[in-house]
Amino acid sequence: MSERDLMPGWSVELLHDDFRQCLKEATLLYDSETAHQRLRVFRNPTFGRILTLDGVVQVTEGDEFIYHEMMAHVPMLAHGAAKRVLIVGGGDGGMAREALKHPGLERLVMVEIDAGVIEFSRRYLPGIGAGAFDDPRLEIVIADGADFMRESAEVFDVILVDSTDPIGPGETLFTDSFYGCARKRLAEGGIMVTQNGVPFLQKAELTRSMTAFKALFRDYGCYMATIPTYVGGPMAMGWATDGDARGVAAATLAERVAEIGLEARYYTPEIHKAAFALPGYVSALMP
C-alpha cells in the first residue's frame, strides 16, 4: 500500500524524501495518464483547482499568479523592449497570459512536450490561460524543449523555462547542454529565467544550474518568490544574461509598468528589486 493510499481524499506529494505535502481533494475533476505523465485536476477548498503531474503540484488557481508574474515580468520589464519571447513548458497557459500583457511583444513561442497538458488546461483550468491560447501572437510547438533549443535557429529577447522538476520529461531542461543551446537562442542583451526549485530542499538543483550559468553568462544568479504550494521556503528563479538588465532602477521599472498599464497582484518594481537580495543560505549555494 502506498502513502497516497493511506490518506483517501487527499493528494499526497512525494517529491522530497523527508517531506510531504497533503492537499485535500474536495472534488476530483480529471485523472488520466498520457504517454508522458499522469495528469490530475482536483478542487481544494483553499487553493481552488489544482493540477498535478505524477503527483507533484504544478499549478493552483489560488497562488499561480505569484509564480507567473515573477517569472514573466521580472525579465520582460528588466529588458524593456522584448519583442520575441520563448516559453519552454507552460502548458497551463499562465506564463503566456502574463507575457502577452506586454503590448510590445510581437511573437511568443511556447514549446510544450505534451499536447495533453494544453488540451485539458483549456478545459479544466481555463482561468489560468485566460484566453492566451487564442492570441494571434502565440505559436504553440509540441516538441521536447531540449530538442527545440538544439535544432532551432531563431533568437529571442527573453527565454522563460517554465519546467517541471528535474525528474521525468523535465530532466533534460536542467543540463549544461540545454543551457548552452539556450544561450545561442538569446538575442544580444537577452535574458533567460528558469524555474530552479526551492533551495532549502533542492540545494543541488540550484547549484548545478548556477555552475552552468557561471560558465556561460556574464551576469548570472537567481531571484526569489514565495509560492505557498511550492513548499519548503521561497522558490528560486534562475537569471542569466550577458546584458546589464539586472541593474535597472526601480523608478525605470515603475515607468515601464505605467506605460503598459500592467495590473499585477504580486509584482511591483520594489518586489522586483528586492527579489534579488538572497538569504545567506541561498548565497552559499552559488558557485
Beta strands in 124-244 (DSSP E): 138-142, 156-162, 186-195, 219-225, 235-241
Q: What is the mean pLDDT of the chain?
A: 91
Distance in angstroms (rounded) separating the CA atoms of residues 110 and 163: 12
* pLDDT of res. 245: 97
Q: Is 242 a catalytic residue?
A: no
The cell 529565467 sits on which residue? 193
* pLDDT of res. 5: 57
Residue 55: all three cell numbers together: 503527483
Q: What pLDDT digit, counting tens, does each position of 164-216 carry?
A: 654 444 444 446 788 999 999 999 999 999 999 999 999 999 999 999 999 99
DSSP at 4: G
CB 138 within 8 A of CB 100: yes
Distance in angstroms (rounded) separating the CA atoms of residues 197 and 236: 6
DSSP at 197: -
How far is C-alpha 135 from the chain's CA centre?
20
Pairing of strands 56-60, 84-89: unpaired
Residues in the chain: 287
Residue 9 has pLDDT above 60, yes or no: yes
List 114, 162, 165, 244, catalytic entry: 162
Distance in angstroms (rounded) separating the CA atoms of residues 269 and 260: 14
Distance in angstroms (rounded) separating the CA atoms of residues 183 and 24: 41
Compare 167 and 144 and report the one with higher pLDDT: 144
Q: What pLDDT digit, counting tens, does each position of 95-116 carry?
A: 999 999 999 999 999 999 888 8
* pLDDT of res. 117: 82
CA torsion 120-24-72-271 (nearest 10°) is 170
Nearest residue to 76 via CA among 51, 106, 46, 47: 106
Backbone angles phi, psi at 89, to 5 degrees: 90, -145
Question: What is the mean pLDDT of the segment spanning 25-51?
Answer: 88
Question: What is the mean pLDDT of the segment spanning 43-61?
Answer: 92
- Residue 89's H or E segment, with its range, is strand 84-89
In the 3-class helix/strand/coil scheme, how is 6-65 assigned residue by residue? HCCCEEEEEEECCEEEEEECCEEEEEEECCCCEEEEEEECCCEEEEEECCEEEEECCCHH
Helices (H), the chain: 64-79, 94-99, 115-124, 126-129, 145-151, 176-184, 203-216, 250-260, 269-274, 280-283
Amino acid at 63: D
Q: What pLDDT digit, counting tens, does each position of 10-37 carry?
A: 888 788 778 888 999 999 998 887 676 7
